[in-house]
Structure 1
């Protein structure tokens, strides 16, 4: 497709949007102690303690005995990877099924609702599903803007 005035093709713009939701926090947990933890697609970050747990550490070292609500996080990452792959296919080969991209983002957002719900029922902690809002917004924009063309 032809680039717009900024030099962006629709495929590149969609890929950039999908990439953007992969680098923002998907869930933000706040504690009554004043500390905060950020859950990204790639890991957990706790700025107050300076700790970082990558998703690979989570997969291979820390999954024993964890509650189900946190185990859905990697499922959301897998859904996101499907969306990213679909969008990347559109950029590289001009063959993207926007329905798959949008569905992957929507499902990733659903998983983050469960993560936030699970964290929020713990005493002294509130979780904010920022990723759900952003993933759903991008999915809606991609799907509906693609239908309009």
Structure 2
């Protein structure tokens, strides 16, 4: 076995299969992408699909938020749908890769990294406002998926 074959074999043993990668990406839909805490008592949980407020308890879908509630809101909030678009494209890349038997890990991982960066921008925008703190949970979730699912493949392509 050549050195390249050995590296490829070692990478494939440590990298989750395509079905597992798609399942991990779908699991991110259950994770609050960002949590905004207002005056240390009320919270808003942003998901890829919408948001949930705690006081009063309510839910708003992402399309409803974008087309009904965005008038007059700060521009940093647009980082949320941008991150969801990057995530959806990464999910589509992973699904196509699973079905076609060939995925470019640079594309999927790059889109997930962009989604993670956009979530940091969103959290930063909320955190600089008075009496608010934001926690970008999706940034960590997205980057863990990149590290666990795609980093071995990316490292092998660089070598």
Structure 2 gaps of 5+ residues are 1-15
Separation in structure 2 between the aligned mates of residue 33 and residue 24 of structure 1, nearest angstrom: 21
Aligned length: 141
Aligned-residue Cα RMSD (Å) equals 1.7
Separation in structure 2 between the aligned mates of residue 106 and residue 37 of structure 1, nearest angstrom: 23
Q: Which runs of 4+ in 1 moved over 2 A?
A: 145-149
Q: TM-score, normalised by structure 2?
A: 0.82
Separation in structure 2 between the aligned mates of residue 15 and residue 148 of structure 1, nearest angstrom: 20
Structure 1 gaps of 5+ residues are 1-8
Q: String of CA shifts for 1:93-133, please: whole Å, max 9, x gaps.
A: 21211111111110000000011011111111100111111
User: Could you say which residue in structure 2 is the equivalent of 1:32?
Assistant: 39
- Which structure is higher in RCO with an 8 Å CA cutoff and minimum separation 6? 2
Q: String of CA shifts for 1:51-105, please: whole Å, max 9, x gaps.
A: 1111110222122221011011111111001100011112222121111111111
| Alignment pair present for 1:92 and 2:102 | no
Within 5 A, what are the aligned runs for 1:42-61? 42-61=49-68
3-state secondary structure, aligned to 2:29:
helix
